[in-house]
Structure 1
Amino acid sequence: MVIYLLLIYAIIVVIDPYGLLKQGKKRDFYVCSALCLVSFSLAFALSMHWDIPSPSPTIIYMVKKLF
């Protein structure tokens, strides 16, 4: 499963962000690269069957602080 994940993300990284950089859209390239890194990290953790903590309690706490 990890091998498939690496191959798919390698294809995505070569096609998507590189085209933005080639068009001269540096800001879009950096945002796309950061989001791709976050997405890859989460997908890798899920493929390794690691527990990912839920951000829900933190979000609930922050919303309660607002009101």
Structure 2
Amino acid sequence: MIIYLLLIYAVVIIIDPYGLLKQGKKRDFYVCSVLCLVSFSLAFALSMRWEIPSPSSPIVHWVRKLF
């Protein structure tokens, strides 16, 4: 499973962010790179069957603070 994950993300990283950098869109390149890194981290954690905490309780807490 990890090998598939690495191969798929290698293809995505070569095609998507690199094209943005060639077009001169540096800001878009950085945003895309950060989102790819976050996505890869979550996918890797799921493939390793690690427990990922739910962000819903902190979000509910912050919304209640606003109101």
Query: Same fold by TM (over 0.5)?
Result: yes
Q: Please state how far the C-alpha of 1:65 moved relative to its aligned partner.
A: 0.0
For the aligned residues, what is the CA RMSD? 0.2
Whole-angstrom distance in 1 between the partners of 2:25 and 2:65 = 38
Query: Counterpart of 1:59 in structure 2: which amino acid?
Result: I
**Runs ≥4 residues deviating over 2 A:** none
Residues paired across the two proteins, number: 67
Q: State the identity %.
A: 79
2:62 paired residue number:
62
TM-score, length basis structure 1: 0.99
Whole-angstrom distance in 2 between the partners of 1:36 and 1:7 = 14
Whole-angstrom distance in 1 between the partners of 2:60 and 2:35 = 24
2:46 paired residue number:
46
- Deviation by residue 1:3-44 (Cα, 9 ceiling, x = unmatched): 000000000000000000000000000000000000000000
Query: Which runs of structure 2 are paired with 1:27-42 in the superposition (5 Å)?
Result: 27-42=27-42
TM-score, length basis structure 2: 0.99
Query: Counterpart of 2:27 in structure 1: which amino acid?
Result: R
Which consecutive residues of structure 1, in runs of 5 or more, have no partner in the other structure?
A: none
Which consecutive residues of structure 2, in runs of 5 or more, have no partner in the other structure?
A: none
